[in-house]
């Protein structure tokens, strides 16, 4: 063999070794993950897309394509995770009970609390022959019920006359006499209409006043419920800026029936300014009525009463005041009458709201306060429930205490 043949033989062996080594190297690289990615198969134009449309969640369906051309779908083995958003809390708006049914529902409660004025009198007057001691007992019963001296004298004189004319009578007849006289004293002829409708293209303005502890702010909230039940658009004004929780309390009452509350964002703000803003806001909202809650104050504190007068004057720069309601605690008796006099002198009371009437046998306060002020009782509070405020009905009231 020549030298040239030997050289070619060595070259062929070397090339073979290089091919073998290259194959081994490629195998090692694939074992370490170094293989290249496979390209996705080509999709024909008629094949549905397996990807969600841009800008939409993979589970959404385009309403414009339902019932028409194909809808984007997901492969069966894909899992769609839907994001659950926290529920939005929306306060439930209540529908208050109709005012027309409230006094009927509460008659039993009123009757239980006024047995001295009702059943007590019937028992005394149905004895038969009434001597002077019996008539004195009748007078004492009426005075204890806070009817007042003048009204008590009138009622006893009227009953004495009936007994002299008709003589002894059974309980049913006596009840009829007593009902007639009590209804006359309560005076159904007084105008008990509550300002609650727009006047000359503006909201009616109602200002609520009273001493501390009468339940004034609660009464404003309940009054809002009465008016909402009558389909009135109501705005509340939180002008009690001295009691820290008053505005929050009033706003809570309003939210329960979907009524807005206009308030200051700071404690101790000028109550007259808040009242002014409330009236203006109610006008902008085209509400039927705006109810202004004022701070409770003692009737014998001159400075506080002067401030209440300022609230009234500031409101009147923008709108006439159609109603000033005085909230009185029925249990205060004759002291409540003095409170009423002072408030009437400062702001001109147009109506009375008697609260806590269910917890007392002093139903005669209705007659006494009307006579003292010459203004009617328009609303009575007969419990602590949200709908336990009712328009005052003279005949219904008398019937309740005589049942």
**Per residue in 109-146, pLDDT tens?**
666 665 556 777 777 777 767 788 888 888 888 888 88
Q: Which residue has the higher pLDDT, 361 or 269?
A: 269
C-alpha–C-alpha distance, residues 123 and 129, integer Å: 13
Which carries the bigger pLDDT value, residue 330 or residue 260?
Answer: 260
Closest C-alpha to 336, from 365, 379, 377: 365
Residue 69: Cβ within 10 Å count: 7
* pLDDT at position 264 over 60: yes
Beta carbons of 351 and 323 less than 8 angstroms apart: yes
Q: Taking 50 as the threshold, does the pLDDT of residue 29 lie above it?
A: no
Decide if 366 contacts 397 (C-beta within 8 A): yes
Q: For the whole model, what pTM was predicted?
A: 0.73
How high is the pLDDT of residue 3? 56
CA torsion through residues 364, 329, 345, 315, sign: negative
Beta carbons of 341 and 371 less than 8 angstroms apart: no
Q: What is the pLDDT of residue 377?
A: 95
Cβ(364)–Cβ(146) under 8 Å? Answer: yes
- Nearest 5°: the CA angle 363, 325, 101 is 60
Angstrom distances, CA of residue 326 to CA of 27, 214, 222, 380: 99, 10, 14, 12
Q: How high is the pLDDT of residue 53? A: 36
Interacting residues of 200 by C-beta distance below 8 A, sequence separation 6+ = none
**CA-closest candidate to residue 150, choices 363, 364, 342, 344:** 364
Cβ 103 vs Cβ 400: under 8 Å: yes
Q: In the structure, what pLDDT confidence band is assigned to residue 399 with cuts at 50, 70 and 90?
A: confident
Q: How many residues does this entry show for the chain?
A: 403
What tokens were used for 97? Answer: 């009970």
- Checking if the pLDDT of 56 tops 60, the result is no
Is the confidence at residue 57, as pLDDT, over 70?
no
| C-alpha distance across the termini of the chain, in Å | 145
143 against 312, higher pLDDT: 312
What's the pLDDT score for residue 72?
36
Report the range out of 51-55, 169-173, 241-245, 250-254 with the highest average pLDDT: 250-254
| Structural domains in the chain, sorted by start | 204-349 (3.40.50.300)
User: For position 37, what pLDDT does the model report?
Assistant: 38
Report residue 42: phi and psi, to 5°.
-65, 140
Q: Is pLDDT of 321 > 80? A: yes
| Rounded Cα distance, 281 and 261, in Å | 10
Q: Residue 46 burial by CB count (10 A; 0-12/13-18/19+): exposed, middle or buried?
A: exposed
């Amino acid at each position: 063999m020549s030298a040239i043949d030997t050289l070619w033989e060595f070259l062929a062996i070397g090339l073979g070794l290089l091919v073998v080594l290259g194959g081994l190297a490629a195998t090692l690289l694939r074992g370490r993950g170094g293989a290249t990615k496979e390209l996705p198969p080509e999709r024909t134009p008629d094949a549905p897309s397996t990807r969600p449309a841009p800008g939409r969640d993979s589970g959404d369906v385009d309403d414009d394509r339902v019932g028409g051309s194909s809808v984007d779908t997901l492969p069966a083995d894909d899992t769609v995770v839907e994001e659950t958003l926290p529920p939005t809390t929306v306060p439930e708006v209540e529908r208050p009970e109709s005012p027309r049914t409230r006094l009927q529902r509460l008659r039993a409660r009123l009757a239980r609390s006024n047995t001295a004025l009702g059943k007590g009198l019937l028992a005394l007057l149905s004895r038969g022959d009434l001597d002077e001691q019996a008539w004195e007992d009748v007078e004492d019963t009426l005075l204890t019920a806070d009817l007042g001296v003048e009204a008590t004298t009138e009622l006893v004189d009227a009953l004495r006359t009936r007994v002299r004319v008709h003589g002894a009578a059974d309980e049913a007849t006596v009840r009829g006499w007593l009902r007639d006289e009590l209804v006359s004293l309560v005076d159904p002829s007084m105008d008990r209409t509550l300002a609650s409708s727009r006047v000359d293209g503006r909201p009616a303005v109602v200002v609520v006043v009273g001493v501390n502890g009468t339940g004034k702010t609660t009464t404003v909230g309940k009054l809002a419920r009465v008016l909402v039940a009558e389909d009135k658009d109501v705005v509340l004004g939180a002008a009690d800026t001295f009691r820290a929780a008053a505005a929050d309390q009033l706003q809570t009452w309003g939210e329960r029936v979907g009524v807005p509350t206009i308030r200051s964002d700071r404690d101790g703000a000028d109550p007259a300014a808040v009242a002014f803003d409330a009236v203006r806001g109610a006008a902008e909202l085209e509400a039927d009525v705006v109810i202004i809650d004022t701070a409770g104050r003692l009737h014998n504190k001159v400075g506080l009463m002067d401030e209440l007068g300022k609230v009234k004057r500031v409101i009147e720069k923008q709108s006439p005041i159609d109603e000033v309601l005085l909230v009185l605690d029925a249990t205060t008796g004759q002291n409540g009458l003095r409170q009423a006099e002072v408030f009437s002198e400062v702001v001109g009371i147009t109506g009375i709201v008697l609260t806590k009437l269910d917890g007392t046998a002093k139903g005669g306060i209705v007659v006494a306060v009307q006579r003292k002020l010459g203004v009617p009782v328009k609303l009575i509070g007969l419990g602590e429930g949200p709908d336990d405020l009712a328009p005052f009905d003279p005949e219904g009231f008398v019937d309740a205490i005589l049942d």
